[in-house]
Amino acid sequence: MSFFRPVLLLLLALLLFGCNGETETVVTPPIAPANTPEPAGEAVATAAPAESPTSVVIVIDSTEPTAAAESGDVVTATEAPADLPTEEPAIVMPAFPAAANLIGAIRLVPVASGLWNMTNMAHAGDERIFVTGQGGQVWIIENGAVLGEPFLDVSSLTDLTDATERGLLDIAFHPDYSENGYFYINYTDLNGHSVVSRWQVSDDPNRADPNSESIILQVQQPYNNHNGGQIEFGPDGYLYIGFGDGGNQGDTEGNGQNPQTLLGAILRIDVDSASPYAIPADNPFVNDDNVRNEIWAYGVRNPWGLQFDSLTGDLYFADVGQDLWEEVNWQPAGVGGQNYGWNILEATHCYGAENCDETGLTLPIHEYNHDIGACSITGGAIYRGDEYPQMQGNYFFGDLCLGSIWAMVSNGDGTWSVRAVQPQWVSSVVFAADAAGNLYVGDRGTDTLFRIEPAG
């Protein structure tokens, strides 16, 4: 995820690809079977035949956005940008495979603006929304307003001088936050290296204790991009951490396929049983001396948007592509050990070679090509709220440059259906849910947080 992509690139992408007036269908292969790893810790998933299509994305031929909220629908923290599009889209959907509860279209309701360079969003089990900014601030949105003082400010601990993807990248609240007051952040320090640290709330529930940092994990980063930065507590109570391959074009250092480094991997650690952390006994590579025991899965380029389905426990995450392909990955609850293929594959395609050995690699459940004007996928969150039954089970994701938002659902038979539900104007950088299950998307172009609702 490149945060400072020029505005010109976005405008050119929209002009060149957003108004072609055509409806395109893109087919992607199925995910490889995800079997429980053997005790030795090897990833035993095998690739399914590439000619078996399972998911379809419809690129709609309209570039008009869905309508924003009517006056009085929401309380905004600051006045929403005056130039936000407001017209209903002329959505044209072709014949579509049967899918359980795939939403047709959405609208975006502005909740708060002035949130500079958002990187992620989380909740602490109550009605407040916590938003991280790349510059080092954690803002609280409460009752539709951004509180005047940040919950936490670590701007003195991070340096954005030469950064593209550095800074404060995510926040996660301990499952027992209401009792222990612990929360965790992922940021890059003044040397550009990744830091995961624990903090504690102060006596004021809207202010963190600025002197409470306890460093959990530090990882040296060779370059200033592909830092990953996503952290999320799973339904098992363990902390999951996504790290990119460390940067440079094509993963020249080979970190994605090197399980002896924490780069290019998703980690799973126990932050409760030992200091600074312990390795869960059921981690897939815990008995393998050739693999870092923290690793839950590997072979990723720059995972963005680790999100657990609160109903099933399944894990979804997007992985930002190199030159041509963006991808969405799915992992059944409690099953680790996957090798997602980078840099052997970019999505389902051999990278840097006409042929490659896909044995043991887990393929994405969906991919899309840059030739539609895309550049960097933003994953993603699944709706499990009660207010909108028509959105139930829909996983939403977007693309920073193209500006579209898609919804995806499982068809229940190993296949997935995908549909464009929001035309091209949102430079999405985060999708997340609040405590009630409502979904939000952060727009880097306007520094505005929107709530996702069904259109109409």
Output 429 or 61, whichever has higher pLDDT.
429
Report the range of poorest mean pLDDT among 63-72, 144-153, 250-259, 290-299: 63-72
pLDDT at 39 over 70: no
Q: How confident is the model at residue 100 (pLDDT cuts 50, 70, 90)?
A: low
Query: What is the pLDDT, as a whole number, of residue 223?
Result: 84
Question: pLDDT tens digits for 116-163?
Answer: 999 999 999 999 999 999 999 999 999 889 999 999 999 999 987 666
Q: How confident is the model at residue 407 (pLDDT cuts 50, 70, 90)?
A: very high
pLDDT at 64 over 60: no
Output 249 or 279, whichever has higher pLDDT.
279
pLDDT at 172 over 70: yes
Q: How confident is the model at residue 225 (pLDDT cuts 50, 70, 90)?
A: confident
Greatest CA separation found in the chain? 60
Arithmetic mean of pLDDT, 173-187: 98
Output 222 or 88, whichever has higher pLDDT.
222
Arithmetic mean of pLDDT, 7-13: 39
* Contact (Cβ atoms closer than 8 angstroms) between residue 443 and residue 433: no
pLDDT at 217 over 90: yes
Query: What is the pLDDT, as a whole number, of residue 318?
Result: 96
Query: What is the pLDDT, as a whole number, of residue 370?
Result: 93
Strands 295-298 and 152-153: unpaired
Q: Write out the DSSP string of 100-151.
A: TT----EEEEEEE---TTEEEEE--SSS-EEEEETTSEEEEEETTEE-SS-S
Arithmetic mean of pLDDT, 336-352: 96
Give the mean pLDDT of the chain: 81
Question: pLDDT tens digits for 257-269?
Answer: 999 999 999 999 9
* Contact (Cβ atoms closer than 8 angstroms) between residue 300 and residue 259: no
d(CA 217, CA 197): 7
Query: What is the pLDDT, as a whole number, of residue 356?
Result: 97
Arithmetic mean of pLDDT, 44-59: 31
Domains in the chain (CATH in brackets) are 7-454 (2.120.10.30)
Q: Is 54 helix (H, G, I), strand (E, B) or coil?
A: coil
Report the range of poorest mean pLDDT among 60-74, 154-168, 264-278, 303-317: 60-74
Q: Is the dihedral of CA 96, 99, 101, 103 positive or negative?
A: negative
pLDDT at 210 over 50: yes
Structure tokens at 159: 């340096």
Query: What is the pLDDT, as a whole number, of residue 10?
Result: 42
Query: What is the pLDDT, as a whole number, of residue 3?
Result: 44
How many percent of the chain have pLDDT more than 90? 67
Query: What is the pLDDT, as a whole number, of residue 422?
Result: 87
Q: Which of 337, 169, 175, 349 is nearest to 241 (CA)?
A: 169
